[in-house]
Amino acid sequence: MIQAENPFLSIATPWIAGLTPYVPGKPISELERELGIRDSVKLASNENPLGPGPKARAAIAALLGEIGRYPDGAGFELRRALADHHGVSPTAITLGNGSNDVLDLIARTFLQPGVESVFSEYAFAVYPISTQAVGATARVAPARDYGHDLDAMSALINDQTRVVWIANPNNPTGTWLAASALRSFIGSLPKTCVVVVDEAYTDYVSEPDFPDTTNWIETFPNLIVTRTFAKAYGLAALRVGYGISDPRVADLLNRVRQPFNVNALAQAAAAAAIGDREHVRASVELNRAGMRQLTDAFARLGIDYIPSVGNFVTIDLKRPAGPINDALLRRGVIVRPLANYGLPNHLRISTGLEQENARFIAALEDVLAA
């Protein structure tokens, strides 16, 4: 049908033509334009409600006059700041336009038609997209209690497996893997297979046996750890993240990377933000209070939720969440429906400022009572 109208469409690769795109959280501007309302709150994309810290803001302001020039394509200062922070060599670091960009570089470097990647049911939505975008095959392991089941994932690994994707903690479930289990899983993988540990929410986690896998890259040359400035660092709009790996792996990823994939404002803001531990501390503390506020309300209202170590929590409404989500939108509250994750009865709520959480709780009570 489409091909008859434009024959060029038929030459797209079948895997791109069949790709289901990522569904982002609804922007506030879009909701307000559609409904003609104001003062909406967005708790849909796990952003930091405090935004950037003072050091990042100052770094951006100081650089505004320079944006007529291309950024440093090698990201020298940012890579050096990250190397110092993590105690690794700058050659271990791959900068990305958001950590999603790094995930895509990994897919393009290690996947192709005929090979496979493995991830869990309910894992972050970018893993299937990056896999299919390069024509590789996704193998999805059933989850256990919503979390990654490492035994089920192991069972899917074979000669064709090239990439294993793990989000720790996982989004949208907020579940996590302890150090010992993850370490033995990585150690058990064939040497011909890369494992990606996506640590987008690591700063929020305080569980004592939660791993910092950036310490493992010397032990596991097939390990790539990804981190982002979009969550606890409050720089989501700037798009900046990074990978840490064996320098030989980073060298491969950097061959695929576009020369100016991270803009100058993002590089400067991120280098300042990594040193602003006070802002991270305040953000983590705000999240802890917000998580308590939300889960107390769920307990009071008799709503089931998946215990989460991230800055978001997923509730199970035991009935289709779509109409409830629509009713929340009409009340100016944006959260995240999860039907595209195979969770049609669930909504994911990011922690916000106290008054934003209160707006959501009041709107939810109102909707459920109606």
Ligand X SMILES: *Cc1c(COP(=O)(O)O)cnc(C)c1O
Told to check if 203 binds ligand X by CB under 6 A, we report: no
Beta carbon of residue 300, minimum distance to ligand X (angstroms, whole number): 28
How many angstroms separate the first and last alpha carbons of the chain?
44
Told to check if 46 binds ligand X by CB under 6 A, we report: yes
Which residue's CB is nearer to ligand X, number 53 or number 243?
243
Instruction: Compute the distance between CA of residue 226 and CA of residue 108 in angstroms, rounded to an integer.
Output: 16
Report which DSSP code applies to 95: E
3-class DSSP state of 304: strand
DSSP H helical ranges for the chain: 2-5, 14-17, 28-35, 54-63, 76-86, 99-110, 126-133, 150-154, 179-188, 247-256, 264-273, 277-301, 321-330, 354-369
Which residue's CB is nearer to ligand X, number 123 or number 329?
123
Structure tokens at 123: 């894992």
With contacts defined by CB under 6 A, name the span among 28-36, 189-197, 209-217, 226-234 that binds ligand X: 226-234
Rg of the chain over CA atoms, in angstroms? 21
Residue list 240-269, contact with ligand X (CB under 6 A): 241
Beta carbon of residue 228, minimum distance to ligand X (angstroms, whole number): 3
Q: Which of 116, 121, 198, 203 binds ligand X (CB under 6 A)?
A: 198
Beta carbon of residue 3, minimum distance to ligand X (angstroms, whole number): 33
Residue list 150-189, contact with ligand X (CB under 6 A): 167, 171
Which residue's CB is nearer to ligand X, number 230 or number 334?
230
Q: Which of 124, 176, 216, 305 binds ligand X (CB under 6 A)?
A: 124
Instruction: Compute the distance between CA of residue 213 and CA of residue 223 in angstroms, rounded to an integer.
Output: 9
Beta carbon of residue 293, minimum distance to ligand X (angstroms, whole number): 21
With contacts defined by CB under 6 A, name the span among 97-105, 211-219, 247-255, 325-333 that binds ligand X: 97-105
Among 33, 62, 125, residue whose Cα is nearest residue 342: 125
Look at strands 194-198 and 241-245 and give their pairing. Answer: unpaired
Which residue's CB is nearer to ligand X, number 232 or number 363?
232
| Count of beta carbons in the 10 Å neighbourhood of residue 43 | 29
Told to check if 228 binds ligand X by CB under 6 A, we report: yes
Q: Which of 143, 163, 205, 230 binds ligand X (CB under 6 A)?
A: 230
With contacts defined by CB under 6 A, name the span among 28-36, 54-62, 95-103, 176-184 that binds ligand X: 95-103
Q: Which of 48, 99, 214, 261 binds ligand X (CB under 6 A)?
A: 99
Among 53, 49, 51, residue whose Cα is nearest residue 358: 49
What is the size of the binding site for ligand X (CB under 6 A)?
Answer: 14
Which residue's CB is nearer to ligand X, number 222 or number 226?
226
DSSP string, 166-180: EESS-TTT-----HH
Which residue's CB is nearer to ligand X, number 160 or number 263?
263
Structure tokens at 264: 């100058």
Instruction: Compute the distance between CA of residue 280 and CA of residue 288 in angstroms, rounded to an integer.
Output: 12
Going edge to edge, which strands form the sheet with 343-350? Answer: 304-306, 312-316, 343-350, 336-338
Query: Residue number with the shortest CB distance to ligand X?
Result: 98
Which residue's CB is nearer to ligand X, number 90 or number 243?
243
Beta carbon of residue 262, minimum distance to ligand X (angstroms, whole number): 11
Binding residues for ligand X (CB under 6 A): 46, 98-100, 124, 167, 171, 198, 200, 228, 230-231, 236, 241
